[in-house]
Amino acid sequence: MSVTTTLLRAHQATGKTEYLNAAIKAFDAFESEVDQGGVIYTDSEGNPWIEEYIVTTPTHILNGFIWGLWGVLDLYLATNDERAKLLWEKCVGTLTKNLHTFDLGWWSLYDQSGSRWLPMITSRFYHSLHIVQLEITSQLTNEHLFTDVSNRWNSYTSNSIYRSKAFIQKALFKLLKY
């Protein structure tokens, strides 16, 4: 859950305006690029990515991007802030255009930081989280691509060979990279 969402939930539960004001203030990070102290990285194609970790080479962590995306939507729904609406729309576009890069054809990637020969695939927990996040994002956007990918990734979990391959590759990644 994003900080923005947490603050908005606190405002809803208590009615205290300081939580709402803090959520609006927290949104400042969503309006700034990573190199300026924010959480947005704009790629060479103009796609904004919400970064979970602020590192020199952006990692594009999928679940963190989606949590952040939901926080942007929460802010828009709570405040009708057009800046949040615009960022929501742009980031949904980023996800739509780039979701295929997280699909190995047998499992999902955790992020985009790994090498081609040993990418950082998800654990079973994060693979399942991605499936649920995409299904919810499909409901929020009415974009069927997210349901299609969610269903495809869910089918990967029922394949024992894919599960075993994912376990072995995740173990290798941890042994060689950590």
Ordered DSSP codes for 66-78: HHHHHHHHHHHHH
3-state secondary structure of 14: helix
What residues contact residue 87 under an 8 Å CB cut-off, 6+ apart? 30, 31, 48, 72
Task: Give me the pLDDT at residue 117, please.
Answer: 75
Write down the pLDDT at residue 5.
Answer: 87
Which residues form the domain of 84? Answer: 1-100
pLDDT, position 46: 96
* pLDDT tens-digit series, residues 14-72: 999 999 999 999 999 999 999 999 999 999 999 999 999 999 889 999 999 999 999 99
**Domain final residue pick, 72, 100, 128:** 100
Distance CA 5, CA 9 (A): 6
* Whether 110 and 94 share a structural domain: no
Find the angle CA(113)-CA(117)-CA(120) to the nearest 5 degrees: 35
Domain's final residue, options 60, 78, 100: 100
- Tens digit of pLDDT for each residue in 95-145? 999 999 999 999 999 999 877 778 899 999 999 999 999 999 999 999 999
The answer to whether residues 82 and 116 belong to one domain is no
Tokens of 112: 């985009």
Instruction: Please tell me what DSSP assigns to residue 81.
Output: -
Domain co-membership, 137 together with 95:
no
Q: What integer pLDDT is reported at residue 110 of this predicted model? A: 96
Within this chain, do residues 36 and 121 fall inside the same structural domain, yes or no? no
How far apart, in whole angstroms, are the C-alpha atoms of residue 90 and residue 119? 26
Same domain for 113 and 172?
yes
Q: Are residues 83 and 117 in the same domain?
A: no
pLDDT of 1 reads 63
Evaluated on CA atoms 6, 8, 13, 16, the torsion sign reads positive
Number of domains in the chain: 2
Q: Is the dihedral of CA 160, 102, 87, 125 positive or negative?
A: positive
Same structural domain, 170 and 136: yes
In this model, does residue 177 exceed pLDDT 90? no
Among residues 100, 134, 161, the one where a domain terminates is 100
Q: Are residues 96 and 108 located together in one domain of the fold?
A: no
164 and 116 in one domain?
yes
List Cβ<8 Å contacts ≥24 apart for 54-62.
57/113, 58/34, 58/112, 59/111, 59/112, 59/113, 60/98, 60/111, 60/112, 60/113, 61/110, 61/111, 62/102, 62/108, 62/109, 62/110, 62/111, 62/130, 62/133
The rounded distance, in Å, linking the Cα atoms of 47 and 40 is 10
